C-alpha cells in the first residue's frame, strides 16, 4: 500500500495503459498520462516520450492522421529537449520515421530545427551533420519549403 501511494500519478496511468486491450481506451489512458505528466513534471519532461510515442503509433495505426499531425511537433520538442546532448541520433531517426510514415511537413520542420541545431553545435560528428543535411535536401525535394531552401542555401555558402 505504501509503495503504491509513493508512485506518481502518471506512472499509475502508464501502467494501466499497458493493461488495456481496446485501442480507444488505451488512447484515453495515454492522453490522461500526458496530462498528468505535464502537470506534475512540465511540458518537456523526459517521461513524456513514451506516452507520445505510443499515442502517435496508435493514432497512426487507427488511421487518425490528423491527430498524429497535431502530436508530432510537441513530441519532437520533447525529444529535442531531452535527447539533444546525449542521444542526438534519436532526433534524426525521429525525423526519418516521420518521413517514412508520410508526415512530410512535420518532418521538414523538425529536420530544419535539427540541421540548425547541429550547425550551431560545437561537437557534432560530421557524419551526423551530413546525414541530417542530406535528409533535409531529400525532404525539400519531396515537399518544397521556403525555410528549408533558405537553410540549405545558407549552409552551402558556409560549408
Where are the chain's structural domains? 1-83, 88-159
Distance of alpha carbon 155 from alpha carbon 159, whole angstroms: 6
pLDDT given at position 123: 78
**What pLDDT score was predicted for residue 2?**
42
Which pLDDT value is given to residue 96?
97
Q: What is the pLDDT of residue 62?
A: 96
Helices in the chain by DSSP H: which ranges?
A: 2-6, 9-19, 23-41, 49-61, 65-83, 88-100, 104-120, 126-142, 146-158
Mean pLDDT in each 10-residue stretch from start to end of the chain (159 residues)? 54 74 89 91 93 95 97 96 87 96 94 88 84 92 83 68
Burial level of 33, CB count in 10 A (0-12/13-18/19+)? Answer: buried
Asked whether the beta carbons of 33 and 10 are under 8 A apart, the reply is yes
Per-residue confidence (pLDDT) for residue 159, from 0 to 100: 53
- Taking the alpha carbons of 147, 148, 151, 156 in that order, is the dihedral positive or negative? negative
Diameter over CA atoms, the chain: 63
The pTM for the full model equals 0.81
- Residue 155, pLDDT score: 66
Residue 86: what pLDDT? 81
Residues 6 or more apart from 124 whose CB is under 8 A from it?
A: 88, 118
CA-based torsion, 92, 97, 100, 106: positive or negative: negative
Amino acid at each position: 500500500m505504501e509503495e503504491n501511494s509513493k508512485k506518481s500519478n502518471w506512472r499509475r496511468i502508464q501502467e494501466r495503459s499497458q493493461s488495456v486491450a481496446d485501442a480507444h481506451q488505451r488512447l484515453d489512458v495515454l492522453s490522461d498520462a500526458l496530462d498528468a505528466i505535464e502537470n506534475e513534471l512540465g511540458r518537456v519532461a523526459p517521461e513524456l516520450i513514451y506516452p507520445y510515442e505510443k499515442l502517435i503509433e496508435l493514432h497512426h495505426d487507427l488511421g487518425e492522421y490528423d491527430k498524429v499531425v497535431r502530436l508530432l511537433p510537441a513530441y519532437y520538442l520533447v525529444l529535442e529537449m531531452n535527447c539533444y546532448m546525449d542521444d542526438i541520433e534519436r532526433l534524426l531517426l525521429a525525423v526519418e520515421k516521420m518521413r517514412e510514415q508520410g508526415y512530410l511537413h512535420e518532418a521538414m520542420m523538425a529536420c530544419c530545427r535539427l540541421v540548425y541545431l547541429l550547425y550551431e553545435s560545437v561537437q557534432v560528428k560530421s557524419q551526423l551533420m551530413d546525414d541530417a543535411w542530406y535528409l533535409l535536401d531529400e525532404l525539400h525535394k519531396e515537399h518544397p519549403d521556403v525555410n528549408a531552401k533558405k537553410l540549405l542555401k545558407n549552409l552551402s555558402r558556409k560549408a
